[in-house]
Amino acid sequence: MIRILGKPGRVKTSEPVEISWKNCIVKCRDDINCSVVYKLSDVQCQYFSFGSITTIQKADFETDEMALKVLIPQDQCPNSNPLIPGPTYYTQIINGQFYKTTVLPDSLSTRIYNLTYSVATCPNNTKLFQRGETTVVCIGLYFFEEPLCNNQAEASALCKAQSGTLTGPANADEYEYIQDISNPSNYTSKPTPYKYLTYWIDGVGTNTAYVYTFEDPTHNGSTNYKWPLRGPPTPKGTGYCLYNPSPALSFITDDPCHITDCCSPTMCWRGALCQVPPIIEMY
């Protein structure tokens, strides 16, 4: 919470709360629905939930005090106004949705700050993950329709058809999720007569050892890829692509990008791990 000298501007709804100013700030900080509070008196405050206030104004008097939820990169309060030059964000994930509040100085008046709100929701059969301060992606498995087993180029096209890209794990939580959604599909989406299913992920080999090119710039390359103890696959040059996981083990490996199935009836490249954009609703 950042305390500033200011007062409400355009307001949709608010709630008066009979509580001390100090406790009002604490209450807002701990309430996922609260965005802004305004001091009415020493024993009463005005409480603004997400989306309920769209502008704040600079104070007319020293008694006009507000507190806003914003992200501060440092571990201590800034010496200067944290809302300048802006924009300033506050983000949180609630019930699988990504809520973002943006505070931005008004382009026409130095006395006004504008607040905008958005909620990001993922399409069905995908899960929302936050990558960085404000970037969110929806990750899920997408399956080939015909043929049921297909190559890496078609996997890339499958993701692009959803306005996304092939992706890979950006952290341990994402890797665990990938495994969690991959394993059940072996029972629900496995074509006869294959024993194992696997899925293309982001990563194409180059002529430089252990260096890959990626479609998705948001997962920090192969930093969070889970390799075998000996490290990434033995370099084979161009024409080799990564998939997840090895059917017999739990690590990422590679094979020729053109492959669709192998050692029939053993393994089928059944689809792609994609990141697709969330559906954004503005308030």
Q: Which residues pair with 228 in a beta bridge?
A: none
In the prediction, which pLDDT does 163 show? Answer: 96
- Tens of pLDDT, residue by residue over 89-130, are 999 999 999 999 999 999 899 899 999 999 999 999 999 999
CA-to-CA dists, residue 27 to 14, 34, 46, 52, 200, angstroms: 15, 8, 12, 17, 47
Q: What is the mean pLDDT of residues 197-210?
A: 92
For range 169-178, the mean pLDDT? 93
At 156, which amino acid appears? Answer: S
Q: Are 216 and 162 in contact (CB under 8 A)?
A: no
The mean pLDDT value for 46-75 works out to 89
Mean pLDDT of 173-194: 87
| 115 phi, psi to nearest 5 deg | -115, 125
Strand partners, 146: none
CATH architecture entry for 127-278: Roll (3.10)
Contacts of 129 (CB under 8 A, 6+ apart): 136, 137, 138, 139, 170, 173, 174, 177
Q: Would you state the pLDDT for residue 133?
A: 83
Predicted confidence band at 7 (pLDDT cuts at 50, 70, 90)? very high
Q: How is the chain split into domains, by residue range?
A: 2-121, 127-278
Instruction: Give 22-58 pLDDT, tens digit per residue.
Output: 999 999 999 999 999 999 999 999 999 999 999 999 9
Strands 267-276 and 196-205: parallel
If you average pLDDT over every residue of the chain, what do you get?
91
Per-residue pLDDT for 71 more than 90?
Answer: no
Q: Is residue 8 pLDDT above 90, yes or no?
A: yes
Q: Are 145 and 134 in contact (CB under 8 A)?
A: no
Q: How far is residue 194's CA from residue 263's CA, in Å, rounded to a whole number?
A: 9
Please check the confidence at residue 192 and state whether its pLDDT lies above 90: no
Residue 21 Rama label (left phi>0; alpha psi -120 to 50; beta): alpha
**pLDDT classification of 248: cutoffs 50, 70, 90:** low
Q: How many CB atoms lie within 10 A of CB 53?
A: 24
Higher pLDDT, 187 or 47: 47
d(CA 42, CA 225) in angstroms, rounded, equals: 54
* pTM score, whole prediction: 0.86
Q: Which of 215-219, 238-242, 261-265 has the lowest mean pLDDT?
A: 261-265
What's the mean pLDDT in 200-214? 93
Confidence tier at 277 by pLDDT (50, 70, 90): very high
Query: Which of 74-83, 101-110, 248-257 is predicted least confidently?
Result: 74-83
Which pLDDT value is given to residue 235? Answer: 76
Preceding peptide of 265 cis, ω within 30°: yes
